[in-house]
Structure 1
Amino acid sequence: MSLSDLERQPPPVEGTAPCGYELVLPPGWIRIPLRNGTKEALENVFFSHMEQVPEGIPRDDAMRFRLDMRRQIEKQARAARRNGGLDLYVPVLPRGGIFLMASFIVAEMPLGQDRAAPPEEVLAQLAGEDGPDGSVTRVEVAGAPALRRSYQSVPDAEQLRSAPEAVRQAAMPARRVDYVISVADDPGRWISINFSTPGDGDLDSEFTGVLVELFDAVVGTFKWSYE
């Protein structure tokens, strides 16, 4: 399990707000905290979790592979922190000889909603807003109302032509799933859990679908922490 502290705010009078959350991660996945301890976590990834490399990588290239992966994770962490991220989760060990290209971010959401508005009312509004095409479902997470949106993200070819080379190289079609969850006993506060994967290159393939199912299973283990 992993634990992350939410930004502490005075708890509401009617209850005690959680100070964090817990998730059960699949084997080979790790948490990178984005508010505190990011550098230490990245060092731990490099020295403790990357002893394996994918099949086909020569031993002489193993260190270069680890350095490249460290840089990619660090780049993801910086971008996630800029967008209000609390934690970044990534796979760092190969499964079946390959590395999974996937990640998810837990972030606080500055919705700007009235703190007195019931969560169901806020979710109804969010479900009706224009957004990425895909499936929007009302669900429960940790016994609280939540919203799940599943969609495909395909870069706009015209915009990519004028984008910097680094952006063009990083942009690729991705399968995305976003959860929006109300913070228990703390009206007006919300978090999101945002998953992204290019899968095996085919966003509708069975393999890509399995990765989405894996993420949904992880969210199913979500619970609030009060310690």
Structure 2
Amino acid sequence: MNTSDLEQPSPPVEAIAPRGYELLLPPGWVRIPLREGTKQALEKVLFSHMGQVPEGIPRDDAMRFRLDMRRQLEKQARAARRNGGLDLYLPVLPRGGIFLMASFIVAEMPIGQGHAVPPQAVIDQLVNEDVPGGTAKRVDVAGAPALRRAYHSTLDEEQPSSPEAVQQATLPTRRVEYVLPMANDPGRWISINFSTPGDGDIDSEFTDVLVELFDAVVGTFRWSYE
């Protein structure tokens, strides 16, 4: 079980706002916090979890590989933090001898800040927005209404979003975004954004499996009050 804390303003009198959230990660995935502890988490990922390097990279180049990955991850973490990012999640162990190119970011969203807009009204508006080449629908996350939006990104729109950022930046990606209101805290919303180029074919069965894996992870999302 992965647990992440949220910055907490004074909670409403009538209800207790969550202090964070919890979710279950697949084997080999890790969390990199973006508000604090980022440097320590990167050290652990790059020098503990990534004991292996992709096939084809000579042993003598392993340290250079890790340092390159660190620079890419630091760049990605800074960009995510500027956009309200709370946590970055990445697969850091190879599956079947290869590293998966995928990631997702949990971030706070500036929806209805300072205004207690009914969540259902916000979700209805988001569902009705045009998603070129994609879909948007209402779903339930942690027992509450949420939005699920899925689409493809083009090469011109894409930004690096995994340890294999240099490779991924040259590929189109599948993206899935969940948007949900924070429980008992009107005006605060979070998004969970997933991105993957899959195996290079964003419509392949392999890429579909990665999307299904992300959907399953979101299905374990729960608010934490401790």
**Normalization by structure 1: what TM-score?**
0.90
Structure 2 equivalent of residue 170 of structure 1:
169
SS in structure 2 at match of 1:57 = coil
SS at match of 1:62: helix
Q: Superposed, which structure 2 residues align to 1:3-18 within 5 Å? A: 3-18=3-18
Residue deviations 1:148-202, cap 9 Å, x none?
Answer: 0010001349xxxxxxxx9998353110000001101111111000000011111
Residues 129 and 6 (structure 1), Cα distance of their counterparts in 2 relative to 1, 3 Å cut:
same
Measured in 1, the distance between the counterparts of 2:179 and 2:143 equals 13
Q: Which runs of 4+ in 1 moved over 6 A?
A: 166-169
CA contact (8 A) 2:201 2:207 kept: yes
Q: In the aligned structure 2, how far is the partner of 1:206 from the partner of 1:171?
A: 20
Number of positions where the alignment pairs a residue of Structure 1 with one of Structure 2:
219
Q: Could you tell me which residue of structure 2 aligns to residue 161 of structure 1?
A: none
Confirm whether residue 144 of structure 1 aligns to residue 149 of structure 2. Answer: no
Structure 2 CA distance, aligned partners of 1:208 and 1:69? Answer: 23
Is 1:185 aligned to residue 184 of structure 2? yes
Residue number in structure 2 paired with 1:162: none
- The answer as to 2:5 corresponding to 1:2 is no
Provide the C-alpha distance between the structure 2 equivalents of 1:72 and 1:101, rounded to a whole number of angstroms: 13
Measure the CA separation in 2 of the matches of 1:219 and 1:42: 23
1:151-166 matches, within 5 Å, as 151-156=151-156
User: Counterpart of 2:56?
Assistant: 56
SS at match of 2:62: helix
1:198 partnered with 2:197: yes
**Runs of at least 5 residues in structure 2 that lack an aligned partner in the other structure:** 158-164
Tell me whether 1:38 sits opposite 2:30 in the alignment. no
Gaps of 5+ in 1: 158-165
Alpha-carbon distance between aligned partners in 2 of 1:131 and 1:10, rounded to the nearest angstrom: 36
CA RMSD of aligned residues (A): 2.0
Matched, 1:102 2:95: no
The amino acid of 2:145's aligned partner reads: P
Please say if 1:66 is aligned against 2:66.
yes
- Can you list the C-alpha shifts for 1:122-150, whole angstroms capped at 9, x where unaligned? 10011122344311110000001100001
Q: Give the aligned residue type for 1:223.
A: R
Partner of 1:84: 84
Counterparts of 2:90 and 2:10, CA distance in 1: 32
Seen in structure 2, the aligned counterparts of structure 1 residues 168 and 206 have a Cα distance that, compared at 3 Å, is closer
Aligned-partner Cα distance in 2 for 1:98–1:168: 13
Deviates more, 1:2-11 or 1:186-195: 2-11
In the alignment, structure 1 residue 125 sits paired with structure 2 residue 118: no
| C-alpha contact 1:146 1:179 (8 A) present in aligned 2 | yes
Q: Distance in 2 between matches of 1:205 and 1:168?
A: 18
Q: Indicate conservation of the 8 Å contact 2:131/2:151, yes or no.
A: no
Shift of 1:55: 2.6
Shift of 1:72: 1.9
Q: Which residue of 1 aligns with 2:27?
A: 27
AA paired with 1:117?
V
- Classify 1:176/1:92 alpha carbon distance in 2 versus 1 (closer, same or farther; 3 Å): same
Bigger mean CA deviation after superposition, 84-93 or 64-73: 64-73
Q: Counterparts of 1:125 and 1:53 in 2: how far apart (Å)?
A: 45
Distance 2:205 2:148 in 1: 20
Cα displacement string for residues 40-92 of structure 1 (whole angstroms, at most 9, x for unaligned residues): 11111122111112233322222222222222222211111111100000111
What amino acid does structure 1 have at the position aligned with 2:213?
Answer: L
